[in-house]
Each structure stands twice: as structure tokens, then as C-alpha cells.
Amino acid sequence: MNKILLTMTATGIILGVNAQNSNQQRAAELVAKMTLEEKIGQMAQISIDVITRGQDTPPASTLQIDSEKLREAVVKYHVGSILNSPNTRARTAEWWNAAVEEMQQVAMTETRMKIPILYGLDQNHGATYTAESTMFPAPITLAASWQPENARRMGEITAYQTRASNVPWTFTPTLDLGLDPRWARQNENFGEDPYIGAMFGAALTKGFQGENPNNIDKNRIAACAKHFMGYGAPISGKDRTPAYIPENVLLEYHAPAFQAAIDAGVASIMINSGIINNKPVHADYKILTTILREQMGFKGMVVSDWEDINKLFTRDRMVASIKEAIREAINAGIDMSMIPINYVEFCTLLKELVDEGQVSMARIDEAVTHILKIKLDLNLFETPNTFKKDYPEFHSKNFQKASYDVAADAITLLKNKNGILPLKKGKKILVAGPNAVSMRALNGGWTFSWQGEKVDEFVKDEHNLLQAIELKYGKENVKYIAGVSYKKVFEYDTEYKDRFEEAIAAAENADVVLLMLGENSYCEKPGDLDDLYLNDLQTELAQKIIEKGKPVILVLSEGRPRLISKFSQKTDAIVQTYLPGMYGADALADILAGDINPSGKLPYTYPAFPNSLIPYYHKYAEEQENTDAAYNYQGDYNYEFPFGFGLSYSSFEYKNAKISAAEQPLNENAQITVSVEVTNTGKMAGKEVVQLYSADLYASLMPDVKRLRRFEKVELEAGETKTVTFTLQQSDLAFVNFDNKKTVERGDFEFQIGASSADIKAKLAYKIK
């Protein structure tokens, strides 16, 4: 069996290498036959809004492809890629089938080179822009499950439904490090830890593309890891604003997730829209070429973000014209420009730059080869179209169950005073808060539209939180008074009092209050905020309902951890649902009732105050004990809940922690094995996330207090014991030094096994001699 497996694996590697070489060679051969204008056209990506006509007024939309505009772009200017959904509203798979087929027909029958269009969509947590498809919880919710296979499954289902839409490319996974909870794109990534980001990023990439990135089959799509890199650490906490990140820090924390995606064969990478160390990343040769290609080994295609080449001039003012912006970006390493509107300007100016010798033909050929190889890897030349009729599992019950399972695996119990949960049936329940009836709040942005504000157009049988609670506990036992509601507008931050006093008064007659608070949907720049505290009206509602003295269960649905320290200590239970998706309400109801034992863990540190936005892997100076009688230098690391934290209805005991060797000579490949026995000491089956951290006790570069190295989610019946074993190498203990090189140093280390970053059950000494 092992010999057969080895032979099959080796054969697969050979076939993959041959396909890579074959497609690379074929792409180069095509480039050699192309005119300069044809090459430049392949580097141009335009929005579908440029080539459509009609009115988008659902349900009677007359929007369709404008044949003349399409031919102007594709035949005359040789445009090679189109993106987005008209008016950022989802379309049916049948609409996409016809629209993309028309584009491919023009590209492959009316142009000299007959090169297919590469169509791309932001299918961020499911098939975002495909109506009637199965949506999943947001990526931050997936991370809370601590099961990378959930990301892979989401990728597989998203790819299947996207191909059913005749679209072969998605602009995800989002692999930005979620360091700053103020940031509007926190929910699109996998949290604050580099290792979790790497594990989930690789799994999602494999889910999208399959095992062979050089031969992506008809059930898979090309992935695009974004936003390379350092995008998630702006100084202001606001989207697309400057960051200051030393190179060794960039490589230590921000690069690992991208490296994992590259190692998994990710087809394309999108670039950070922001600025690092006073240089826009879209013009940074060192980041785009030296680091990304030469050091990290990326061989795929690099695409800009929306209009970001032009912004080198219009926003950042680092150049004096659009023409100079194009020169800087292309020479830095951008292969395809997401223009997205004025493609005539881009094509004309780039040709001038080549004719003038400001951009070399070699750089153009390199870029176009990268672009054509993706089209070849996707087999678009042979099969330019895929149709829904050939995808019978589209939005199947199995797909819907997979989305529910992720939510059930991720929802996190943060507080359970006196075991108030599971909540017994038969009680009189008051449901209050704006998120109780908001599908926007359950799903967030990138849900059938950019900001998620159009989601109600696409909801069919899915439940909001109130409906799920009524189904679980009986409508006769549940009373709903909002207290605070959201206005039905594009903007997310639009709360108003809605029967406010009536909701507070109703708490007196309830046995328990389910207070459903958090955020409305948003994404990107429109989601910027000035205050991380939960909005004032929701906070006031919580405080006044708590004053009534009845048990309060706080249910949060939010894309980032909004501060709740003004009232959290007085609640009886807190449940974090993150953005649990279309079936998240059902999962929550099952958890509240005890039909599901919660097992999610925080993928970020939940801060307590606006000035405590420090990740768990901070420096020792963030926590100081006073050592001087005259001056108080004590420092605090204040969190509401620590990274990796989450409660269960079961309890777990850790014992017999072991390490394979307490000392080893310096050898980066030396293997280290750490194990521990975990027992479910509770009365019901449950899952526990066993977490392995390491602490470098002393180093030439000031070390972090700890770093997550491995984790495993283990399922245990009541009374059952399992041994969890982690295997790693000395290289896992490396850090990036001041010379920007990864290094392992001799010295003392400590392995910590725990249920969270703060709840350490066992410590094991380790020394590199």
C-alpha cells in the first residue's frame, strides 16, 4: 500500500511539473506571436460596468452586456480580463452563464490571438455575487472553528458554485494579519495569529484550486491571495491608510500566510492598497519583486487592487501624472492593472512608455506570460465556458449543511455564569437588540453585494436570530421588542431608538433576556470607525435592561470585537457568533438549547479598552511588574477575553504532558515531539482545541512572550481520554533577525500546552545547545 501511494504521489508530482513547464512554454510561445498592443490589452482589467447597458431595478432588471462596448474593449483594445458584478449586486448563475459566454465568444472568435477572457469575482465567503448560492460564515468565523478543513470545504463549495456561474477566478483568500480590531476588514481574514493564517490560507487555497495548480479542473477556480502585504496594520486603524512596519516585522508576522498560499500553489496575488514606510506598496519593487518573487518564490500573476495604480498619482502624489504611475507600478512588478474604468488611457499610456523605453519589452513579456499561464492552467482555451446545468449540487442540502456545520463549530461561548446555558425550554424570553432581525448583521459585507446591504433581496427560507429562537423555544414563549434598530440604508452605522423604553420595561416580565447586539454589515473603507466601543445606543440599551435585574444573555454578531467592557461584567452569559452566515441563527439556537456543545475559540484577543489593542504575542514590556520604590513602571495587558479562549458545556483535564527531548544540539531539522493526555470530565460529548505555544526565554532580538506553534481540535465523549501529539522542528522556533534572515538561536525555550493563550495547563522546558 505504501509503495503504491508513493508511486501515485510521485506520478502526481511529475505530472504537475510537466503541466507547469508545458503551460509556461505555451504561454511564452503565445507571447512571442503577439503585438505590443495585444500584450498590453492582456494586462488590462476592466469592470463589467464599462460594457453593460440597461437599468438595474430589481426585480425587473434590464441590465445586459452592450455588444458594441464589449467589442470596443476586447477586439479593439484587446482587454484580457473583466471583473465585478454590475452595481455590486449578485446575479443568477444563468445570467452569468450567458454574460460570460458572450464575452468569450467575442474574445475567441473575433480577435486574432483568440485568447479567452479571465473573469474574476470577489467570492469572499461563498459565491458572493451568485444569487441563490450557498453562503458561508465570514473567514474570521472559520478561524474561530480552529479547523482548517472547514476553510478547505468552503473553498471547494465556493469554487463549484462559481464555476457553475461560468466564472473561473476569485479574489480571495484574504491573508492580511488581523492585528488591529479597529480595521474594517478584520472579518475577511483569519485573525491575529500568523500560524493560523498560514494554516487556513493554505487550506482555502487548496479548496479553491485543488491539488494541482497547473491543471485546475472544471470544479475548481484560480485563487488570489490578498493583499500582499502588511495591509492589516494601518497606524490609524482605518482602511487604506499608512503603516510603518520594519522589514523583519513584515517578514516575521505578515509573510507566513502568503508563503503558505504560495507553497500551496496559489495562482495569483493582489497587492496591498496602502502605504508602508512612506511608499505605496503598488510601487514598491522590493516588496513586489525582491521579496515576493525572489525570496518567497512566487511564480504566478500579480494583480493590482481597484484603481490603485492611478492612486499613486491621485491619492499618494508620489508621481506627477497617471503615465508616471503606470510606469512605477509595472516596473515594480504589477502584471495586471485593475484599472477598472478608463482602459483606453491605460493602454495608450503603457504603449507610450514601452515605445519610449521607460518600461522594457522584457517586463511586458514577463507580465503577459504570467497572465496567460493562469488561463492555460484553467484550461480556458479548451473549455472557455462552464454552465450551471452541469453542476447539479448547486446550493444543495449538503452545501447548506456544510455552512451550518462551520457556524456550529465556530460560535464561541465566552461567559456562562452559574451555568445559565444551556437555556431550558419553557421560560419567558425577551429578545431585544437590532441584530435579532438583521440578516445583514449575520452575514456582513460581501454577501450578495459589496456592503451586504442588499442581502434581504436574496433571503428565502433562511432564519434570522429571532426566527430561530422562536422555532427552538416556541413563538408563544418569545417576545421581541427591538429597543434599537438599524435604518435600511447603504451605510452601516445608522442606529435609532425603536420602542426603546418599551423594551426596557418588558425585561421586568421576562424570565431571561436575549440581548442581540453587535454591528450592521460593512466592508472596506465604508466600514471605518472612530470608536471601537459598541455604539452608544446599544450600550445604553444593555445597561438599562441589565438594571432590571433579570438574567441577561448577550449574543454578539460582529465583524470585529466591539468593546463591551462598560456592561459585560453584569451579564450572565456572552456568546460570540462573529458573522455566522445564513444558517448561523439555527446554529446559535441549537447551542443555546444545548443540542450543540459550543467549541469555538477566539482567533483574536478581545480587547477591553480602546488603548489595549495588543495581540497575545506582544513583547514583555507590555506587561511589567513594579521593581522600583520611587517610580511605578507597572504595565498592564488588558483584554476582555484572551486569544484562543472559549468555553464548553463540558470540562477538560490535561495531564501527562511530555516532550521527546529536553535538550538537543542546534539543528534546524531536528524533530521535537510534544504530547498531552486530554480527558472530557464533563457529562456530554464535546470538542476541545488543544493549543501548543512556545516561549523563547532570551534572544538577541527581543522575543515575544509566546507564539502559537500547533493546535488540534479533538472530539471526546464524556469520560473519554485521548493523547494529542504535536510534531515540529527547531526551525519552527526561528525568528527573523535584524538582518531580515530567519534564524534559530541556542538557548532556553518553554513549550506551553493550554486551552487558550492565558489558560496554560502544562509547561515543558526545552534547550537548544
Q: At what angle do helices 255-263 and 194-209 cross, to 10 degrees?
A: 30
Amino acid letter for position 567: F
b (16+ CB within 10 A) / e for 726-764: bebebebbbbbbeeeeeebbebebbbbbbbbbbebbbeb
pLDDT of residue 11: 42
Its pTM stands at 0.95
Nearest to 754 by CA among 711, 695, 698, 699: 711
pLDDT of residue 10: 44
pLDDT in tens, 677-736: 999 999 999 999 999 999 999 999 999 999 999 999 999 999 999 999 999 999 999 999
Residue positions counted in the chain: 769
Q: Where do we find the cell 484553467? A: 378
Nearest to 550 by CA among 599, 515, 587, 581: 515
pLDDT in tens, 271-323: 999 999 999 999 999 999 999 999 999 999 999 999 999 999 999 999 999 99
pLDDT of residue 626: 66
pLDDT of residue 627: 64
Cell of 163: 464555476
Three-state DSSP state, 694: strand
Three-state DSSP state, 550: coil
pLDDT of residue 625: 73
User: How distant is the alpha carbon of residue 753 from its chain centre?
Assistant: 27
User: How distant is the alpha carbon of residue 672 from its chain centre?
Assistant: 31
Using CA atoms, how far residue 756 sits from 218, 574, 760, in Å, is 41, 17, 7
The residues that are catalytic are: 305
pLDDT of residue 18: 65
Please tell me the distance from the alpha carbon of residue 464 to that of residue 585, in angstroms, as a whole number. Answer: 6
pLDDT of residue 629: 61
pLDDT in tens, 31-78: 999 999 999 999 999 999 999 999 887 777 888 999 999 999 999 999
Please tell me the distance from the alpha carbon of residue 210 to that of residue 477, in angstroms, as a whole number. Answer: 48
pLDDT of residue 21: 79
Residue 713 contacts residue 146 (beta carbons within 8 Å): yes
Cell of 578: 462573529
Residue 49 contacts residue 86 (beta carbons within 8 Å): yes
pLDDT of residue 14: 46
pLDDT of residue 89: 93
- Spell out, as residue ranges, where the chain has pLDDT lower than 70: 1-20, 626-635
Cell of 143: 478561524
Over the Cα atoms of the chain, what is R_g?
26
Cell of 412: 464561541
